Amino acid sequence: MRKITASAAIALASLSAPVMAPAYPIDCAILLCLAGGFPSSAECTASKVEMIRRITPFPIEPPLQLWNCPMTIPASLVAELALPTPDIGLDGLTPDVRAFRDGIEIYHISQYRRWQSDGDVNVIDNTSKGVYGADGRFSWVPSSYERGPAWLAEISGGRTISVQTCTRDSGGDNETCISWATHTENRAGNGFGSLRGVAIRTRDHEGKYTTEFARY
């Protein structure tokens, strides 16, 4: 496994001692393997399989559940190794460990559909984003596939396009554009169609990304 930050390794020191599988909490292994970019090993393969299982409907579970991973450093060990007092937040995590957790991006696209009828374009976009709060709790917040990050379209087989919109003169039927604005939008397939699934992207300690999409 590739090297990760020292504080993350110390926080998960319980995994460094020889143990008989599966004696370690799976979430400790998911964290370490995620930070290392899920290198090829039996432990990291099992960790990735478990993470994907959690986001495969239904129900959709938090991909990383650090409340199941004991990361408390004994005071005696801190004193013996002359370690600095860890900067622990409300979620019980150090900033380094929290950065790996918060680097997880997960979107549940419960229904996305874009179709044309009588010359009009219709869109249904029921998408939620999973987030971890300051206290470590996982929750879903309203989001959008169409206005989401470009990697959502890439991982789901869609595409990202540039769209121009104009602010029109408020004078009745006057079609004059006062100003133009450009933004990007995701499209499923060739621009029209439907999509359902869960997309996840993780970031390792080198800033490299791993993406997965569970379609249903």
DSSP 22-63: T-S-HHHHHHHHHHTT--SSHHHHHHHHHHHHHHSSSSPPPS
> What are residue 28's phi and psi, to 5 degrees?
-65, -40
Q: Cβ distance 39 to 22 under 8 Å? A: no
Compute the mean pLDDT over every residue in the chain, rounded to the nearest whole number: 83
Structure-model confidence comparison of residues 173 and 46, the more confident one: 46
- pLDDT tens column, 35-88: 999 999 999 999 999 999 999 988 899 999 999 987 655 566 556 666 666 688
Tokens at residue 204, please? 């390792």
Residues 6+ apart with CB under 8 A from 12: 28, 31, 32, 69, 71
Domain boundaries in the chain?
6-105, 106-201
Question: Residue 101's closest CA among 89, 117, 113?
Answer: 89
| pLDDT tier, 150 (very low <50, low <70, confident <90, very high otherwise) | very high
Q: Is 121 left (phi over 0), alpha (psi -120 to 50) or beta?
A: beta
Q: Cβ distance 112 to 195 under 8 Å? A: yes
pLDDT at 22: 44
